[in-house]
Structure 1
Amino acid sequence: MRRAGAEKAGHAVNRRALLLGAAALGGSVLIPACGTEKKPLVGPPPVSPPASPTPLTEAVTVQKMRSAARNRDVNLVIIAPDGASRVGLPVCVALHGRGADARTFLDLGVQNALNQVVAAGLPGFAVAAVDGDNYWVDVGKGDDPQRMLTDELPGWLAQRELRPPSAMFGISMGGFGALRYARDHKDLKAVAVASAALFVSWPDAKSRKVFADRAQWEANEPLLHAGELSASSTGVWCGTSDPFAGADRKLIKALDPAVAKISPGEHNEAYWRGILPEAMKFVGERIA
């Protein structure tokens, strides 16, 4: 097994080299305002990068891809079960939180969770993650993560003999993006979100300084479009001490998803690591 060493700051990245590391998940989050006049409060800081990132193997790779939709290079992280051929595997796309990138999934225990899925007798699948921003939607900045997911990612997966995306997993901002993607892709077999960064009001959303105006936020906010989501293929996990717990409870009430678990935990890596095996099992039960 080859292990990737840490890169020095400012070091030029060889396009053929595999990258290794894990960025902080999430970023600051907001406590939903009680009224339209109350200023949203700032939530916890980003999670510190892990001290011991997962080593790259044949089943765990990172490459740079040029995204025309995002007008930049992005990381493409692919994680498959240990010892399994990736050829023909179905794919669950993983969307990261604000301030992170695709490499953050390298140290969350994704491969261990996939190994547990296979050990339980469920079909194996791969997890593919890419870099995103702006809550994974087009906010008019010449950067459209949703178009990247729809128009570019399937081709990148096909080049690696993987099947098109059939499931989504999103953390924090990635939960917002996964639910937004699901509205336009009714054929998804599973959508799992953890600590989904949802907003109960325009003042909450506006304070993020991402959406151009209220109309743009309303067009994308999952809480305002729960009727366009599939309850039977959706799972929602959130910690009781998470600043987004109130908003996620509203999603659960509106959608009545197949899995709705509000359990002890905060908006941090420890919570996401804890629920990951269950979330991957949820996907594995539906993705075949």
Structure 2
Amino acid sequence: MTRPDRRTVVAGALAAVAAAASACSRRPEGSGGAGVEVERGTLRSRHLPGRDLPWVMAIPRDADRHRPPVVVLHGKGGHAEQALSLLRLGDHVAATGLAVAAVDGGNGYWHRRHDGTDAGRMVLDDFLPLVARAYGETERVAFLGWSMGGYGSILLASELGPERVVAVVGSSAALWTSPGDSAPGAFDDRADFLAHDVFADDRLATLARLPVRLDCGRDDPFAGANRAFARVLPSAALTVDPGGHSGTYWREHGGAQLRWIRDRLDGAAST
């Protein structure tokens, strides 16, 4: 995936998140569509030092700010803006009433690496507090990610557990059943793979206690591992349907995925 040739940069500042060294802006519709406010900015994190990390949020104009936001994790080679530009999740924000928030996390597969970087901790320690100040509710969140971000969403959900996570969606999640099968760069070594293996029994026990959805195209190279994951986590809702590992597939499923998260929230509120 490549960055767009031109990215909208909106100047401004959000004083409430000054501690996160973040600038942000608000515009009434932007790429989120009618009834949606879009905010953009950057943050700095000790977990990914020496760089400004762009982030974007799309918030329903009349949002119930007690409703958990959806944290969106991008795929390898991707970036936060693709939550709106590639997946077009902003088109579904007003209809579902769900805020979506995404941040650049590099290509470290959303977990701690031997060089000390840790995009996952950046999300938990830095991005979620920023979202809390700009939006409101982050005591509970949903995760949605595609490819590398699908794996990252499942991983972070397995770490936070049902006390914090209301639902998790992996779209074409980058999953592997053994260290030798993983892509170059996804893990530092066998020990790193095992330490962050979402097939591990303790992680599966946690994930079994929260709603999990998996969508993967039949022609996707990760289809087999997604099926394997659903076999060891039978509570997961798995769909394998026509498509490949592509922006078209992720975009076509984004609206249904947000509606699924909303339905999980509505179901929990009624019990």
- Say which SS state the counterpart of residue 136 (structure 1) adopts: coil
Structure 1 residues 192-231: aligned runs within 5 Å: 192-205=169-182, 207-224=183-200, 225-230=203-208
Identity value in percent: 30
Cα displacement (A) at 1:216: 0.9
Contact 1:116 1:277 in 2 (8 A): no
Aligned-pair CA distance for 1:271? 0.6
Match among 54, 79, 88 for residue 58 of structure 2: 79
- 1:179 aligned counterpart, secondary structure: helix
Give CA-to-partner distance per residue, 1:179-237, whole Å, 9 cap, x none: 110111112110111000011222222x4124221011011121234333126511111
TM-superposed CA distance for 1:7, in Å, is 5.8
Q: Cα deviations across residues 36-71 of structure 1 (Å, max 9, x unaligned)?
A: xxxxxxxxxxxxxxxxx9379861221111122211
| Partner SS, residue 181 of structure 2 | helix
Write out per-residue CA displacement over residues 99-144 of structure 1, whole angstroms, 9 at most, x where no aligned residue: 0111111222212222332xxxxxx221111111311000122211
Confirm or deny that 1:177 pairs with 2:152. yes
CA drift at 1:79: 1.2
Normalising by structure 1, we get a TM-score of: 0.75
Residue 145 of structure 1: CA displacement? 1.1
Question: Contact 1:231/1:258 (CA < 8 Å) preserved in 2?
Answer: no
Which amino acid letter does the alignment assign opposite residue 169 of structure 2? A
Aligned to 1:112: 91
1: CA distance, partners of 2:195 / 2:145: 19
Superposition TM-score, scaled by structure 2 size? 0.79
Deviations 1:219-276 (Å, cap 9, x if unpaired)? 1121234333126511111000000000000011110134211111110011111111
For 2:237 and 2:186, the matched residues in 1 are separated by: 30
> What is the letter of the counterpart of residue 146 of structure 1?
G
C-alpha displacement at 1:168, in angstroms? 0.5
Pair 1:129-2:129 in alignment: no
Amino acid paired to 1:112: D
Superposed CA RMSD in Å reads 2.7
Q: Distance in 1 between matches of 2:186 and 2:236?
A: 31
Q: Distance in 1 between matches of 2:195 and 2:131?
A: 29
Matched residue SS, 1:67: coil
| Change beyond 3 A, Cα 1:87–1:229 | closer
Distance 1:147 1:284 in 2: 26
1:101 aligns with 2:84: no
Structure with higher RCO (Cα < 8 A, 6+ apart): 1
Q: 1:139 aligns with which of 100, 106, 113?
A: 113
- How many residue pairs get matched? 240
Partner SS, residue 189 of structure 1: strand
Question: Where does the alignment leave 5 or more consecutive residues of structure 1 unmatched?
Answer: 20-52, 118-123
Rounded Cα–Cα distance in structure 1 between residues aligned with 2:68 and 2:246: 28
CA 1:56 to 1:208, structure 2 compared with 1: closer, same or farther past 3 Å? farther
Q: Using the alignment, how far apart are the partners of 1:218 and 1:261 within structure 2?
A: 26
Q: How far 1:169 moved relative to its partner?
A: 0.4
